Structure 1
Amino acid sequence: MGTRQAIGLDVGGTKIAGGVVDERGRLLTELVEPTPEDSDAEAVSAVLLDLVARLRAEHPDVVAVGVGAAGIVQWPEGRMIWAPNNAYRDWPVREQLEAATGLPAVIDNDANVAALAEARLGARPYREMVLVTVGTGIGGGLVLGGQIYRGPTGRGAELGHIVLNPDGPECGCGNHGCFEAYASGTALTRMGREAAEDSPDGLIARLGAEDGEVTGKTVTAAALRGDPTATDLFGRLGRWLGVGIASLANIFEVEAVIVGGGLVSTGDLLLEPARRAAREFAYAPQAREATPILPAVFGGDAGMVGAALLALEDARIPVG
């Protein structure tokens, strides 16, 4: 008997990816479509249903659909309450998918499902784990006791908005000094632009002029070429990442902190200063080993894989 398969859908601000995943986490087929410009519920729903239909045509034996989407999801009802980069509000995704497809569906936050993928099928199985995603912002998910932690309404684990310094830079959420304001791609862009202004003849400024503006990608490119200013910015970014991770590890005695997102592709450039800072700010380091800080195994596929795994774990799905 073959392994069961489900469809995993990852709804982002710029693209919607859909894939068929088996219970071993293997991505068998993948399709990607741009997120509609108006990104309201009707337009996004049309894309989701189209992807499901095309994937089912190739894999008619799929048993469920899982969706991971950025924003606040009411669990387990599967209603998208609010999203930061899309226009949909109070959208009953689960209800619509089940009615249109006849398949059981589950909907959760994208970072939650990515954390599930890492906990189940990452470097090793974890029962207690934190995933921190470092991209344009800081996202994350908690797996505690082998299950996703969501809080009573599904709004738990907004890791990017723990406050590191109330007098710090403004965050996109409106507060000041959030983890996200110090350790994200947005923070790297801000620091890179400040460095370019201070050193207009430096590599960061020159690369930014070629690209039209300085972004986090500009700083990354300069750092990978060995530019000392850019390397120092990664050191600062990584240190703040480690400060935030230390706080999380002090609160939750987890087996590991997994770092995902686009910036983790820089490897030790980001992770080594994070590990040093996490050790520096760890509670009682003489009494316990340092919490491992490891790069994520799943890259851009984590949302699809985790959403499909969550669907396969739904109590309504037959095991046999």
Structure 2
Amino acid sequence: MLTVGVDIGGTSVRAGVVDAAGSVLDTARTPTPSGVAPLEQAIAATVGQLARRHPVSAVGLAVAGFVTSDRRSVRFAPHLAWRGTPVADRMTEVLGMPVVLEHDANAAALAEYRFGAARGARVAVLVALGTGIGGALLIDGQVFRGAHGVAPELGHLRLVPGGRPCPCGKYGCWERYCSGTALSTTAVELLARNPGRASLLARESSRDPGWVTGQRVAGAARDGDPIALQAMAELARWLGEGLALVADVYDPEVVVIGGGVSESAPLFLDDAREHYASVITGTGHRPLARIRTAQLGDQAGIVGSAALARDLATTLAESRTDLAPGAG
């Protein structure tokens, strides 16, 4: 059985045909438009490209937003047009095949549990470091959603009371200190405190203050830039601090670090592990979670949502068999 997984972000709609082993066989993508109707048309067109080339049976949508517990509607998505929208039912009607929704971090965590770095873990946490922080918790392979389908919002745990302002309205959220955006902010602050220090970041930012992005800070760190290395050390410290808090609450067997920032993991992950181990409650007297980088990269959302679509298609097929005349 082949299914389609669609990762719907604020920049692009990325779709892939996925088989039962989690392999992505074909892909298509399009820019993410604004407005509900254009967005749904873009999804339909992207899935349609793949459906014309492969015999697909169901579709999973990975959405960066709040998805209801029944995985049928989007309550809110900060970078998309849906607000309290029954997306699954509408797209099922448009596409003519079953559609299921999932939060993008949950979809990525499921992919890593079934096919990647969290395979077989009884309790697993995914921390996706990107523009912000996405989080997911799996218990025996099942997503923990909370009472209203929005848990866990790990990126908005407050690590620094009165700290950096966050778009969520709070101050000192974890993602303001540990994300691609945070890496840029930290570098800019360090440059302001060290105006005379020799640095590629200093030279380039003096010409264009907007030049300092998280990606460029990571690149400069790989080249040995002292300011960039200091910013990366700060990210490692805050990652370890946040992971210790997460471990105190959930006691996971495995923590998977994903998202775009994880591509620079060799620059910060060992330091983050050390800091995590030093500040966790009961340090030295309890097992520590294995902290691993994601294996599926930016295809995790596609693979995970396609796997959920396969589960839905299988369930529907079994129910039709049970209801068939003479069944049983």
Q: Same fold (TM over 0.5)?
A: yes
In the superposition, the TM-score normalised over structure 2's length comes to: 0.91
Larger CA deviation: 246-255 vs 209-218: 209-218
The 8 Å contact of residues 208 and 218 in structure 1, kept in 2 or not, is answered as no
Matched residue, 2:266:
268
Which residue of 65, 68, 90 maps to 1:71?
A: 65
Following the alignment from structure 2 to structure 1, what is the Cα–Cα distance between the partners of residues 65 and 130?
A: 15
Structure 2 spans left out of the alignment, 5+ residues: 322-328
Matched residue, 2:317:
318
Question: Deviation per CA, 1:207-261, whole angstroms, max 9, x where unpaired?
Answer: 3356652111221121010112211211111110111111111111211100001
The 8 Å contact of residues 76 and 106 in structure 1, kept in 2 or not, is answered as no
Residue aligned with 1:288, SS: coil
Question: Deviation per CA, 1:242-281, whole angstroms, max 9, x where unpaired?
Answer: 1111111111121110000111111221211210111011
Following the alignment from structure 1 to structure 2, what is the Cα–Cα distance between the partners of residues 11 and 210?
A: 35
Aligned length: 314
Residue aligned with 1:20, SS: strand
Higher helix content, 1 or 2: 2
Matched residue, 1:298:
296
Following the alignment from structure 1 to structure 2, what is the Cα–Cα distance between the partners of residues 153 and 7?
A: 27
Residue aligned with 1:78, SS: coil
Which residue of 184, 197, 202 maps to 2:199?
A: 202
Which residue of 244, 251, 254 maps to 1:253?
A: 251
Residue aligned with 1:239, SS: helix
The 8 Å contact of residues 72 and 80 in structure 1, kept in 2 or not, is answered as yes
Which residue of 134, 152, 159 maps to 2:147?
A: 152
Following the alignment from structure 2 to structure 1, what is the Cα–Cα distance between the partners of residues 161 and 200?
A: 32
Which residue of 65, 74, 88 maps to 2:82?
A: 88
The 8 Å contact of residues 162 and 178 in structure 1, kept in 2 or not, is answered as yes
The 8 Å contact of residues 71 and 102 in structure 2, kept in 1 or not, is answered as no
Following the alignment from structure 2 to structure 1, what is the Cα–Cα distance between the partners of residues 9 and 125?
A: 21
In the superposition, the TM-score normalised over structure 1's length comes to: 0.93
The 8 Å contact of residues 21 and 308 in structure 1, kept in 2 or not, is answered as yes
The 8 Å contact of residues 256 and 291 in structure 1, kept in 2 or not, is answered as yes
Structure 1 spans left out of the alignment, 5+ residues: none
Q: Post-superposition shift, 1:77? A: 4.5
The 8 Å contact of residues 264 and 270 in structure 1, kept in 2 or not, is answered as no
1:27 aligns with 2:24: yes
Which residue of 89, 98, 106 maps to 2:100?
A: 106
Paired AA for residue 148 in structure 1: V
Q: Post-superposition shift, 1:14? A: 0.3
Aligned CA-pair RMSD: 1.7
Question: Deviation per CA, 1:175-224, whole angstroms, max 9, x where unpaired?
Answer: 01111111111111111112233336522122335665211122112101
Following the alignment from structure 1 to structure 2, what is the Cα–Cα distance between the partners of residues 71 and 27?
A: 24
Residue aligned with 2:301, SS: helix
Matched residue, 2:185:
190
Which residue of 138, 141, 163 maps to 1:143?
A: 138
